Amino acid sequence: MSKFTDMFNKSIRAEIEFIDLDNGEDGKQIDGIKEVKVTPDTKSSVIDVNYVPVEQKFVLNYVDKNDPKHVVGHQDILGKIGETVVIDKMKIPKGWTEVPGQPDYNNYHYKFGSKLPEPKNILVEHKIDEISGLQDKNNPELYREVTRTVNITYPDGQTGTGKQQIVFYRIKQVDEEN
């Protein structure tokens, strides 16, 4: 009988060691299942576990390219483990624009996994608008035409006119951030 008990304990122990209730996989964690001491008299039992996926947050940080420690804004994308979320449009802060040559997160499909998502840094720079005087001819600060008219009277009394014209224009840059 002692051998049977010993054999029974070993087989139960082997089965229990196979089922790891403490460390779930893919972000699943099983809590609240009480430990049961198994003896030869222990009856079979059923434990129902309802899995509820954990909500996570994926963050896009918008970082000033000239000062990498300066986060000018961020965008939180929420989802649950196993869920795929579409980031329709990056929400770059007003007055800033994305530095070219980086991954594009517009219309991006992000799948939440078992590990907490690492934030992604997107480099941004001041958005500069350019206004050319050739496009805004009514603005005297940006566009000006200067005409010189030369009236000529010839020895025979006839008159003539000659014109010279020059155009001055500027390109104005406006920093939307300042």
The pLDDT tens digits of the residues spanning 54-100 come to 899 999 999 999 999 999 999 999 999 889 999 999 999 999 999 99
Model-level pTM? Answer: 0.59
The pLDDT tens digits of the residues spanning 14-26 come to 344 334 444 444 4
Q: Which two tokens stand for residue 133?
A: 């005087």
What confidence score (pLDDT) does residue 8 get?
45
For range 113-142, the mean pLDDT: 91
Higher pLDDT, 154 or 51: 154
Whether the CA torsion 3, 5, 8, 12 is positive or negative: it is negative
Q: Is it the case that residue 177 has pLDDT exceeding 90?
A: no
39 within 8 A of 12, measured Cβ to Cβ: no
If 0-12 CB within 10 Å is exposed, 13-18 middle and 19+ buried, where does residue 124 land? buried
For range 122-137, the mean pLDDT: 91
Query: What's the CA gap between 146 and 158, in Å, rounded?
Result: 26
Query: What's the CA gap between 29 and 81, in Å, rounded?
Result: 12
